[in-house]
Amino acid sequence: MNGSPASAGRRAVDLLEALVAIPSVTGQEETLCDFLEARYRREGFAVEPIAVSGGRRNLFVHRGPARVVLSAHADTVPPFFSPRRQGDVLFARGACDAKGSLAAQAVAFEDLAGAGAPVGLLVLVGEERGSDGALAANRAAPPPRGSPRYIVCGEPDRKAVCGWRPPPGASPGIPRLPEAGDRPSSRCSIS
């Protein structure tokens, strides 16, 4: 799955187009999780479900202990609508929040893991309503494989909630927003 930055970009766009074609309104993420689980099992990755509620699940994908975890959510707000392209622009529910982040992180994860990096991918459900997927990931801490030092949240807005508490002394890996004059922990909970 490794390749040039241009091929990674193309693969991310292709994956994004597949993801936005799958309805995944909060509470109805199963088909999208099934798609990702099948994708990663086919490629030889370990896929560990993390129970959320009512048969729903997060996915933790890896090839061994993960020191860096890339995390994004798979659910969207309602209503689902079929994606469409207008030139180079993709109009679709979740294209930005957060299937775009999920597609980019998934491709980065694949390339990094393919190069032997200790990286994982945490796919969360339920972020759009209550963040129950992130809360379930926190309850599952420590993660099933290894102890991540950094968690990179792919949430495009300022209310991000990531899963898994980092070990003492670890950086949460969330950038500051200097213009806001605040610390990342004041906006993004990883505990």
Active-site annotation, residues: 127
Secondary structure class of 137 (helix, strand, coil): helix
Tokens of 88: 């180079």
Query: Taking phi first (over 0 means left), then psi (-120 to 50 degrees means alpha), and beta for anything else, what does residue 54 get?
Result: left
CA angle 34, 94, 23 (to 5 degrees): 40
Return the amino acid letter for 5. Answer: P
Q: Is 185 helix (H, G, I), strand (E, B) or coil?
A: helix
Which residues have a Cβ under 8 Å from the Cβ of 185 and sit 6 or more positions away? 172, 174
